[in-house]
Amino acid sequence: MRDEISSVKHPAILAPAGNKASFLAALAAGADEIYCGLKQFSARMEAKNFSLEELAALTRLAHAKGTKVHVAINSLLKTDDLDRAGTLLKLLDRWVKPDALIIQDLSLLQMARQTGFSGKLHLSTLSNVSFASALKLVKRKFRVHRIVLPRELNVDEIKSMASDCPNGLDLELFIHGALCYGISGRCYWSSYLGGKSGLRGRCVQPCRRVYTQKDQSKRFFSCQDLSLDVLVKVLKTIPRVRAWKIEGRKKGPHYVFYTVKAYRILRDHGRDPKMKKQALTLLSYALGRTGTHYNFLSQRPQNPVNIDIQTGSGLLVGRVKGTKQKPFLIPREDLLPGDLLRLGYEDESWHGTNRIGKYVPKGGRFFLKASSKTSPAKGTPVFLTDRREKALEDMLSKLEEELTKEPESKIPSSAFNIRLPKRSINKEMVSDLFVFRKPDKVKSRGLTGLWLSSQVKNKMSKSLISRLWWWLPPVIWPEDEVRFKELVDLVLKKGARNFVLNAPWQIAFFSVPKKLNLWAGPFCNIANPLAVKTLASLGVKGVIVSPELGRKDYFMLPKHSPLPLGIVISGNWPLCVSRIISEELDTQKPLISPKGEEAWINKFDSDYWIYPNWKLDISAKKNHLEKAGYRLFVHLVEPVPKEMTLKKRPGLWNWNLDLM
């Protein structure tokens, strides 16, 4: 009871930790909660992350100091991941005893029950719980204790969701750190172009690169960092928001310490002008990108994509000067021994790092060493990405001394076999489903789908409405919830019975789902039979699986699926869906990547969809997929701008790859 009362008065500050030093920095700064990942099944696989033994010792130390530890297993799980994930849960509960798991894959709701995991369950922002009635559904159906809200929400939307949030369910909100261009759980850019899935924690950030439209070559999709700073005072008036999350599991201890310290001051002493100024100073030296309030203030939204601002990770400390043979930096800040500098961006040939060996004063001169044969171009930005000042190092050393006093233990190896559901006997006829955007494109015969939008208010016959498969969008924002509920009710009254939900929580729009033919769509990111079982418990009748899987994964999934399965076999699949667009970009116009790939942007309802100019196409594999057990073959037909010409190239996506 004491924890519950204190959390209402003082939202917990949740700190990131991607390695031991950052974990200790979070403790030193007084974080209330720390979230971290393991060396597998984390949404930040590029962070160093932790072994079970290391995390067990750190968790004991954190608990001794009254700090909670949350472990992120927020990766998309394939069928052959399930036993390893189950074993991991069992070992975590036995040896680490984290306070909570952060999850995105629906299979973990089943897995937690099977393994007897005793901690709490938090749904990651990747789960895309983005509208109010979804909260009630989650609370009613699952043992979930906290929802991490999307970063795109403004304060009015946050208040709206909080007011409808049922008792026993808490909300968590990002307040500081990197912003993705794509909506969490709705970005396939890295996977589509290179087989490294953001849903598997391996995003290579293609959105941060230079793209060309017309005569401009800019970083049109590279966002500034979110920084709510003094605006967090508004969040203190929303009791249901119980945790303020700082992003940055790939960041060093300096960043973690400074951001946690700053937000503790803003939370506890935000009314004191001197303390507020101190907090803002700490944030300015936390080595992040230029900050933005993003959409938080609905009356004054800020577009986080600003092509005139440097968006490289770290604090901009100057630009390369001198010659190609002797490039140097005149820093805008003092540089301390141990500081780490990064030259330019990752997609530039001279990208690399320099470690500072001795003190360099502000305005001094530091000669740079290129990490490749190419010298950095004059004017290349140089960022300070990590700092190890002595005072912080001393604090970390003292905490590490406490850590090493804990008895060493080697966690024994073990295995846990997940109980998979029984396969359903699918006697349904094999069907092809063609999905369109506009009613006038709908075919008169065969199975046809239509994206649900305001167009249905036009005169459409009841016979057509009842025959169509109605596709809901991949994300529904709070401001759109009432409108989409009305659209669902409208087509239901006119006889609609077939719906494809592109977030599991959209089933909240249907009062009697058992009487309808509701399928989970491909944006639900379903990749294993336990996730299918979870959807079956909600009343879903079939599942269209994630389109980013590989051949082996596709063939394995039907063997234990309790529901009929469908698959996207051809069509225009988006690189990502976003709520924002650069003011310098035009929709329906060609965009060219650094490798010459073309794309375009379309706006549908509230969101922007980015498409590559070649189709996903595994139609040649249809016979094999039918034999494996698939019954519904989906073809997505999107309007292509007049200025775009679709390329004829293999659209196999990850078919021949082992999805990373």
Are 265 and 339 contained in the same domain?
no
Q: How confident is the model at residue 94 (pLDDT cuts 50, 70, 90)?
A: very high
Q: How confident is the model at residue 659 (pLDDT cuts 50, 70, 90)?
A: confident
Distance in angstroms (rounded) separating the CA atoms of residues 115 and 182: 34
Q: Mean of the pLDDT values across residues 4-12?
A: 60
| Whole-number pLDDT of residue 6 | 36
Distance in angstroms (rounded) separating the CA atoms of residues 163 and 499: 29
Q: How confident is the model at residue 278 (pLDDT cuts 50, 70, 90)?
A: very high
DSSP letter (8 states) at residue 10? S
Identify the CATH number of the domain in which residue 337 sits.
2.40.30.10
Number of CB atoms found within 10 A of residue 277's CB: 11
Dihedral-angle region of residue 394 (phi above 0 means left; psi in -120 to 50 means alpha; beta otherwise):
alpha
Confirm whether 606 is domain-assigned. no
CA-atom Rg of the chain in angstroms:
25
| Whole-number pLDDT of residue 415 | 82
Confirm whether 114 is domain-assigned. yes
* Least confident residue range of 1-5, 455-459, 554-558, 579-583: 1-5
Confirm whether 626 is domain-assigned. yes
| Whole-number pLDDT of residue 69 | 98
Distance in angstroms (rounded) separating the CA atoms of residues 54 and 34: 15
Are 261 and 337 contained in the same domain?
no
User: Residue 1 pLDDT > 60, yes or no?
Assistant: no
| Whole-number pLDDT of residue 7 | 39
Distance in angstroms (rounded) separating the CA atoms of residues 90 and 287: 37
Distance in angstroms (rounded) separating the CA atoms of residues 227 and 242: 18
CA-based nearest residue to 180, from 610, 554, 615? 610
Give the amino acid at 609.
W
Report the share of the chain in percent with pLDDT over 90.
Answer: 83
| Whole-number pLDDT of residue 4 | 37
Are 539 and 495 contained in the same domain?
yes
Identify the CATH number of the domain in which residue 508 sits.
3.20.20.380
Give pLDDT tens digits for 216-231.
999 999 999 999 999 9
User: Residue 3 pLDDT > 50, yes or no?
Assistant: no
Q: Which two tokens stand for residue 493?
A: 């009254």
Question: What length is written for the chain?
Answer: 660
Q: How confident is the model at residue 324 (pLDDT cuts 50, 70, 90)?
A: confident
Q: How confident is the model at residue 8 (pLDDT cuts 50, 70, 90)?
A: very low
CA-based nearest residue to 484, from 474, 469, 497, 494? 474
- Cα pseudo-dihedral 270, 272, 277, 281, rounded to 10: -50
Q: Which two tokens stand for residue 371?
A: 């990490």
- Inter-axis angle of helices 155-163 and 132-141, to 10 degrees? 40
Distance in angstroms (rounded) separating the CA atoms of residues 484 and 469: 16
User: Residue 357 pLDDT > 60, yes or no?
Assistant: yes
User: Residue 611 to residues 88, 438, 596: CA-CA distances in angstroms?
Assistant: 37, 18, 14
User: Residue 475 pLDDT > 80, yes or no?
Assistant: yes
3-state secondary structure (DSSP) of residue 634: strand
Are 59 and 98 contained in the same domain?
yes
Distance in angstroms (rounded) separating the CA atoms of residues 22 and 36: 10
DSSP letter (8 states) at residue 411? P
Please indicate whether residue 441 or residue 42 has the higher confidence score (pLDDT): 441
Determine the structural domain holding residue 377 and report its residue range: 315-386
Give pLDDT tens digits for 135-156.
999 999 999 999 999 999 999 9
Report the share of the chain in percent with pLDDT over 70.
Answer: 96
- Mean pLDDT in the chain? 93
Are 353 and 474 contained in the same domain?
no
Are 31 and 107 contained in the same domain?
yes
Are 474 and 620 contained in the same domain?
yes
Distance in angstroms (rounded) separating the CA atoms of residues 630 and 556: 11
Q: Which two tokens stand for residue 392?
A: 């912080």
Signed CA dihedral, 320, 326, 330, 333: sign only: positive
Are 53 and 163 contained in the same domain?
yes
Number of CB atoms found within 10 A of residue 360's CB: 20
User: Residue 45 pLDDT > 50, yes or no?
Assistant: no
Are 325 and 450 contained in the same domain?
no
Confirm whether 647 is domain-assigned. no
Q: Mean of the pLDDT values across residues 95-107?
A: 96
Please indicate whether residue 42 or residue 580 has the higher confidence score (pLDDT): 580
Model confidence, pTM: 0.95
Q: Which residues, listed in sequence order, are joined to residue 609 by a DSSP beta bridge?
A: 577, 602
Confirm whether 163 is domain-assigned. yes
Give pLDDT tens digits for 63-93.
999 999 999 998 999 999 999 999 999 999 9
Are 561 and 619 contained in the same domain?
yes
Confirm whether 307 is domain-assigned. no
* Least confident residue range of 359-363, 371-375, 419-423: 371-375
Give the amino acid at 226.
L
Confirm whether 188 is domain-assigned. no
Q: How confident is the model at residue 369 (pLDDT cuts 50, 70, 90)?
A: confident
Residue 450 exposed, middle or buried by CB count within 10 Å (0-12, 13-18, 19+): buried
Identify the CATH number of the domain in which residue 124 sits.
3.20.20.70
- Inter-axis angle of helices 107-115 and 82-91, to 10 degrees? 50
Are 498 and 462 contained in the same domain?
yes
- In total, how many domains does the chain have? 3
Are 531 and 623 contained in the same domain?
yes
3-state secondary structure (DSSP) of residue 591: strand
Confirm whether 190 is domain-assigned. no
* Least confident residue range of 5-19, 164-178, 438-452: 5-19
